Structure 1
């Protein structure tokens, strides 16, 4: 017979509601898979589409790798920005079995709106899908397919700027009396006579505060943000959100939520995340990415990295970070296998991505160890030839995703730093001691033995732990909240209290 402690029950019941509420929100701790539609899967109708890539655009063979091009003065873009590989929404949908098989919860697409370049960050018409990719009906079909699989769809919203070829910009530039003139900031003080994002002549910025612009982008009932949400998408990732600012972001986020309660708005913010909530639901967590990578590259001492992570998580708040995307690479950064070429350290890095608070964001191809340096190297077409059951990166990715799905604390738990010096160690925990997960990593090139302090009053002395990465392997036992751990270079342990009774007895019988 188990005896219950009423005082402990009151404490646990108060905490339990927090974790249950987090679990009920699909945005918390979701596993996100990012796709560049042009590069993810070859179209089944490529020949019928060739006319959509007129010169100076070039349609490449799937086996080719993108390389740095030259600046084309007449069209104001680099030649590698108009090299295409021919993927479309239908081909992406045809490969959803792979994405679902990984255990992904959310498919995130880089921009799909009508645009001149391959990256589509230079929109011509937000309400139209780029013809190389398909139509709004294809978006609806993709969303419906994903929902049938229990998954969500998030699109990339590029509302800070458009493309110089956009009809409304061309009209505004040609006619000072145009109703679209005030949509842009024309000023002879700017290098090209209009404010452009980072002075890139192909990317004139929108005046998002201008009421008609605001109405068109997100506030009006038939606005871009709201109409795509009605089409079935589940959220928006906002490009260069730091340039949009707190007030406009908050306004946009509120309208998205009004249209679709529970929808997700994630901002691309290369800043400290603390003050950007609640202007957005989540951020792309570049700060945590930088801390992790610099630590594994030996540029940041482990103890300093631990303090930085602890400070960032405390300042931003776990509830906000659970909705924030934690990525190690994407379309704007070198791929992880290039940044961290050592397989052991790369596995350690990925383990942290899947165990720290957040929503892990997988960039297509990272699950099979694709390499790629600076732009455009990181945007190579998907290596489907590497998708094999014996591929080690794929096996490791699946193991990490399975680990997260099996462990409630990793999905929605709180964060607690474990006192250490040479090892990075932390706990993800809920109200139940049996769900606590202790993550311990040695990012150094030397073996490390260290005594750690586990600051959890429910961890019982001499009670067994189990290794979630290597079930059945020998593990150290805590003694009066201290745990001695030895790890080889690049070694990791993921430990959890074993609360199961042994021959009918458990020291956890009143504190579970």
Structure 2
């Protein structure tokens, strides 16, 4: 086995990193809210921190939905005040939803990419946050929304009046509103990314948007609707970003099959893994079919970019985990997969505390800090998964071996060291399951003892590569081989 590849993986912060996603407006209330109230005038609304978001009405005059203009008052400084909490969780990477100057609360409608939205603070506040994140030995990534801008963007307003920037957009009388819009959202005109001037502005020039923030100290970009940007432009963008930081992380919001996209960027938000997980746990996919889908995805894309891809279950675009899978046992099985499959587990703020929420905007409620206490079982469970993922080398940087089974989902994560091996078995059914499987790793010794590092199963024995798992309904187990001598002897001394 190639020892060097695992050392290289260990030295790359992007492999298997724990990512924590934050909506700045909703994470921690500002202690200077009174002095900021003038920033939330109509059509915006400032809400009480303990109120929950709900769907609004369309404001034709502004071309926005009213719930897109509801605010709760968090900012970069109030986020900075909670970095100890994030660090204590075990987070490696803090990822912020967009912070660019814009009208909405979600900030996917930039009026100026090179300014921070005033509700959130200033560039100095961002620099202070970056410094503090790095002082806590974490990385920070921003959300890049480079496929489109907000309808109030001065470049677009000038283009409408034929005062310049016309070539930045795709105007066409055959379109309902005369210009190409992202997903036909009236507030989001798309950028003409094929044009060299637009490329220069977004990522090519030294003072381009992408490179300005990298020079400011951020460690990477999550690219919004990266599937709309296309393979070739994504490759260009990645290469220009690397001019300022070789190990910059470029991860794309890509709902497509990952294979070809991972030749253009470092990682994807792995919605394929997410769909396989949710469909397995809903009974739509058998374990046998699910493991083959996982294996195909990894084999086709290659393990290296999969290790850098983000394993997510929920985020600002989909319902929260608790809403998706109301049954606690199924939530936990989903999270076991999230933290043991190859990739970087992506935690959406508040999921670790058990926050609930249906689709947008209900999934974007302000952080419920009342849930943060020593009695919170969801928090304890999440911390145990984080600890497991950080402690077990194979879960961060290991190769993936699919285990063929009918009724259990089983796989291994392995490195150059047999003692790192983790064997994962999951029973997604409501029945007891006992099944014999073949562990395809010649280093695992006959009659080995195995220790349980998560979950539980009846005692197991390995004979000629075969092992029998017996798991209770919705049961799971993560095992490791005992490789140290009991007294003086171990069969593992030369493997």
CA contact (8 A) 2:433 2:471 kept: yes
Provide the residue aligned with 1:397 in structure 2. Answer: 382
Kindly indicate whether the alpha-carbon contact (under 8 Å) linking 1:114 and 1:129 is maintained by their aligned counterparts in 2: yes
Give the Å deviation of 1:179. Answer: 2.6
**CA deviation string 1:136-158 (max 9, x = no partner):** 11111111101111100000000
- In the TM superposition, what whole-angstrom CA distance separates every residue of 1:345-381 from its partner, at most 9, and x where no partner exists? 1111101000000011000000011100011010000
Determine if the alignment matches structure 1 residue 86 to structure 2 residue 70: no
Which string of whole-angstrom CA distances, capped at 9 and with x for unpartnered residues, describes residues 214-252 of structure 1?
111111101110010011100000000000001110111
Shift of 1:475: 3.0
Q: Does the aligned pair in 1 maintain the 2:291–2:404 contact within 8 Å?
A: no
- Given the alignment of the two structures, is residue 468 of structure 1 paired with residue 458 of structure 2, yes or no? no
Paired residue secondary structure (1:469): strand
- Offset at 1:436? 0.5
TM-fit CA distance, 1:296 = 0.6
Inter-partner Cα distance in structure 2 for 1:346 and 1:209: 43
Q: CA deviation at 1:316?
A: 1.1
TM-score scaled by length of structure 2: 0.99
**By how many angstroms is 1:474 displaced?**
6.3
Decide whether the 8 Å contact of 1:187 with 1:195 is kept in 2: yes
1:67 corresponds in structure 2 to 54
Q: What is the aligned length?
A: 495
Q: Is the 8 A contact 2:455 2:476 kept in 1?
A: no
Q: TM-score normalized by structure 1?
A: 0.95
CA distance in 1, matches of 2:448, 2:286: 32
Deviations 1:306-326 (A, max 9, x none): 111111111111101111111
Range moving further from structure 2, 204-213 or 23-32: 204-213
Aligned pair partner of 1:200 in 166, 182, 185: 185
Equivalent position to 2:264, from 261, 279, 284: 279
User: What residue is the counterpart of 1:136 in the other structure?
Assistant: 123
Aligned counterparts of 1:174 and 1:247: Cα–Cα separation in 2:
31
Q: Aligned-pair distance for 1:34?
A: 0.2
The C-alpha deviation readout for 1:116-151, integer Å capped at 9, x for no partner, is 100000000000000000111111111110111110
What is residue 349 of structure 1 aligned with on the other side? 334
In the alignment, what sits opposite 1:8? none
- Structure 1 runs (4+) greater than 3 angstroms displaced: none
Q: Find out whether 1:98 has 2:82 as its counterpart.
A: no
Cα RMSD (Å): 1.0
Q: Structure 2 matches for 1:404-423, cutoff 5 A?
A: 404-423=389-408
Alignment partner for residue 214 of structure 1, among 165, 190, 199? Answer: 199
Match of 1:4 in 2: none
Which of 49, 67, 86 is 2:36 aligned to?
49
Per the alignment, residue 112 of structure 2 pairs with 125
Alignment of 1:429-508 (within 5 A): 429-469=414-454, 475-508=459-492
Secondary structure of the residue aligned to 1:425 is strand
In structure 2, the partner of 1:388 is 373
Q: Aligned partners of 1:401, 1:147: CA distance in 2, in Å?
A: 20
Separation (CA, whole Å) in 2 of partners of 1:322 and 1:119:
28
1:407-464 per-residue CA deviation (whole Å, 9 max, x = no partner) reads 1100000000112110000000001111110000001111111111111111111110
User: Any gaps of 5 or more consecutive residues in structure 1?
Assistant: 1-11
Partner SS state of residue 194, structure 1: coil
Cα deviation for residue 277 of structure 1 reads 2.2
Do the aligned residues in 2 keep the contact of 1:466 with 1:475 (CA within 8 Å)? no
Q: Does 1:110 align with 2:97?
A: yes
Matched residues in 1 for 2:3 and 2:77: separation?
A: 43
* C-alpha distance in structure 1 between counterparts of 2:310 and 2:129, whole Å: 22
Tell me the SS of whatever aligns to 2:460.
coil
What is the CA distance between 1:281 and its match in structure 2?
Answer: 0.6
Q: Return the offset for 1:168.
A: 1.1
Contact 1:81 1:119 in 2 (8 A): yes
Structure 2 residue aligned with 1:6 = none
Instruction: Say if 1:467 and 1:475, in contact at 8 Å, map to a contact too.
Output: no
Identify unmatched segments of 5+ residues in structure 2.
none
1:176-191 maps to which residues of 2 (within 5 A)? Answer: 178-191=163-176
Match of 1:509 in 2: 493
Structure 2 CA distance for partners of 1:507 and 1:474, relative to 1, 3 Å: farther
SS at match of 1:400: helix
* 8 Å contact kept, 2:458–2:470: no
Name the structure 1 match of 2:237: 252
Q: Which residue of 1 aligns with 2:17?
A: 30
Listed one character per residue, the Cα deviations across residues 231-279 of structure 1 (whole Å, up to 9, x for unaligned) are 1100000000000001110111001111111100001101000001231
> Is the Cα–Cα contact under 8 Å of residues 289 and 326 in structure 1 kept in the other structure?
yes
Match of 1:152 among 120, 136, 139: 139
Is the Cα contact below 8 Å between 1:462 and 1:477 reproduced in 2? yes
> Do the aligned residues in 2 keep the contact of 1:337 with 1:369 (CA within 8 Å)?
yes
Q: Specify the SS of the correspondent of 1:258.
A: coil
Q: Measure the CA separation in 2 of the matches of 1:275 and 1:194.
A: 30
